[in-house]
Amino acid sequence: MAVLKAVAGPIRLRLLQSLTQQELSVGELVELVGAHYAAVSQHLARLRAAGLVTVRRSGTHMLYRTTNPHLPALLATALHLAEQTAPQDPAQLHEHH
């Protein structure tokens, strides 16, 4: 369950999607996801605690990458499911069945 909680959230999802493609620094991730440095660092710490990303030092940079080769498939499935189950009409958000 910790893994699913860790990936819940748009910023963490974007971070993970970026890191499944290549190893990136916090600065590069800030630019890619459009969030503040402090927020990205906090999200990366949560992803590290869940065992989803790892970090290594390269000179003065800390480079992050995903740890599990199955993560891209999980992310693709989760995003596909979210797209398929999201209401298409904003009016549906207020309907109660």
pLDDT tens per residue across span 42-89: 999 999 998 999 999 999 999 999 988 888 888 888 778 777 776 665
Q: 53: which DSSP letter?
A: E
pLDDT tens per residue across span 13-53: 889 989 998 999 999 999 999 999 999 999 999 999 989 99
Q: 1: which DSSP letter?
A: -
Q: 59: which DSSP letter?
A: T
In this predicted structure, what is the pLDDT of residue 16?
92
Residue identified by tokens 């999607």 is 17
CATH 3.40.50.1360 matches 2-80: no
Q: For residues 15 and 47, is the Cβ–Cβ distance under 8 A? A: yes
Q: Would the pTM of this model clear 0.75, i.e. be above it? A: yes
In this predicted structure, what is the pLDDT of residue 42?
95
